[in-house]
Amino acid sequence: MMRSFLVLAGLLVSTTLFAQPTAPERLKTLQADPAAQKAAVEAGKKAAFFCANCHGEDGISKAPEVPNLAGQNPAYLLEQIRKFGSGERKDQFMQGLIKVLKDEERVQIALYYANIAVSPSTADAAKVPHGKAVFAKLCVRCHGEQARGGELFPRLAGQKLPYLQTAITQYRDAKGIRSNQLMSIATSTLKNDDVTAVANYLTQLP
């Protein structure tokens, strides 16, 4: 009886000692080692070859309705990849692609896109001041003063104007395409002119 107990205890200890790190843990490990991170970014560029069809090789989307991935926080990107893979975020095309990725590849892709600089897009300068005021009132608390997001909230700076307008409108109208309680509350009072203004403000940010 005692021998069985000791064998079981030994198995539990060995399993704990040799357990694979989670993807977020692996991300932090790579970020703490500049050489390892550089290698991961290079590997991520290769692993993301199928993403380029929609999101562009440089993380700047080819289609106006597709978000840029360049400059996003890697922890945020990694979590969105996980959500698509698990089905928490619904997109049949994305779910199918992501399910074939190994955890290491997911981390590498997140680091690759996060390390690409974002170029701002052209905006209607007349709408920018009003958009800035709307952003400061409703959005800055979560997305940051420069709209660059963080681990929990996406970068909005430099996103394509049509994507921003569509996404904000979908949250405001709560039609089920996009569902987030905080975003629904924040956008509920916006008029179409407000949406257009804040989208113009965000798209021209570096």
pTM: 0.86
* CATH code of the domain containing 56: 1.10.760.10
The answer to the question of residue 64 being in a domain is: yes
Whether residue 93 sits in one domain with residue 178: no
Whether residue 49 sits in one domain with residue 107: yes
**Quick check: 151 pLDDT over 60?**
yes
The answer to the question of residue 121 being in a domain is: no
Over the stretch 102-113, which tens digit does the pLDDT of each residue have?
A: 999 999 999 999
Compute the mean pLDDT over every residue in the chain, rounded to the nearest whole number: 90
DSSP, res 68:
P
Whether residue 33 sits in one domain with residue 104: yes
Residue appearing with tokens 């921003």: 164
Whether residue 104 sits in one domain with residue 152: no
- What value does the mean pLDDT take over residues 118-133? 96
Residue span of the structural domain in which 83 resides: 21-114
Q: Which of 10-14, 21-25, 42-46 has the lowest mean pLDDT?
A: 10-14
Q: Where are the alpha helices (DSSP H) in 18-174?
A: 23-31, 34-47, 52-55, 74-86, 92-98, 103-114, 128-138, 140-143, 161-173
The answer to the question of residue 143 being in a domain is: yes
Per-residue pLDDT, 1: 55
Whether residue 73 sits in one domain with residue 28: yes
Determine the Cα–Cα distance for residues 148 and 177; give it in Å rounded to an integer. Answer: 24
- What value does the mean pLDDT take over residues 149-153? 96
- What value does the mean pLDDT take over residues 99-126? 95
Q: How many domains does the chain have?
A: 2
